Amino acid sequence: MKEQRMKVIQTARKAQEMGLIALTFGNFSSRDEKTGYVCITPSGMDYEELEPADVVVCDVRGMIIEGSRKPSVETPMHCLIYQNRPDVFGICHTHSTFATAWASCLEKLPVIVAELAALVGEAVDTIPYRPIGSRELAEVTAKGLADKSAVLLANHGLVAVGPDLARAFNNAVIVEESAKITFYAKNIGKMKVMTEGDCRSIKRWADDKYGQRAE
């Protein structure tokens, strides 16, 4: 699992470099397709100092398989999402500034930029506040996420998921950028919110046309 663990570390460091997290906040995980095991960041450790062995390996119920570190306090949330979403193999939980600010207003983040429609495909819901690291937070997050790519956590942050850790990270980035643009747009004037039809059309186009395809 060394390669999986390294990907988790690299993602956490990248999130820190891009300002999606501060200090040791946030948490990141990747599920191995062969074993189903989850590699997740340890609790309260400096991401710059992490070695692959520091990343904890557990099953989807949170039982530790390998590693001597204490796993992230949000391990129950990651595990419950994986249990509910067989299509998800990567999770990013960030505390990025604009997404968290929007979540603290208890409002849905509307789609006003094509990039959010293309990657996430729809407005991003905000779920009610629940204590950090609690089973209640895990349950409300998994339920609120449902089959979506991202959800905002009231007074807390953002959870983004994907078919792999790289795409989960991309979703976290685009939600933060969209929250930033929405903030500025709302303060400039009347926002033009994209319709559900527009979002579906752009998402289909992006899935079919955008990026490289294997021959």
**Tens digit of each residue's pLDDT (9 = 90 or more) over 14-54:** 999 999 999 889 999 999 999 999 999 999 999 999 999 99
Matching CATH number, 2-209, of 3.30.465.10, 3.40.1110.10, 3.40.50.2300, 3.40.225.10: 3.40.225.10
Identify each DSSP E strand in the chain by its residue range: 27-31, 38-40, 56-58, 64-66, 90-94, 126-127, 150-153, 157-162
Kindly report the length of the chain. 215
Residue 109 has pLDDT above 60, yes or no: yes
Domain ranges of the chain: 2-209
Residue 108's pLDDT is what? 92
pLDDT of residue 209: 67
Taking residues 110-137, report their average pLDDT.
Answer: 90
Positions marked active-site? 74
pLDDT score at 190: 87
pLDDT band at 78 (very low <50, low <70, confident <90, very high): very high
Other Cβ atoms within 10 Å of 87 Cβ, number = 8
pLDDT of residue 120: 80
At 14 the pLDDT is 97
The yes-or-no verdict on residue 215 having pLDDT over 60 is no
Nearest-10 Cα torsion for 202, 205, 211, 215: 160
Instruction: State the chain's mean pLDDT as an integer.
Output: 92
Picking from 22, 24, 62, the residue whose alpha carbon sits closest to that of residue 40 is 62
* 143-156 confidence digits (pLDDT tens): 999 999 999 999 99
CA torsion sign for 52, 75, 159, 150 is positive
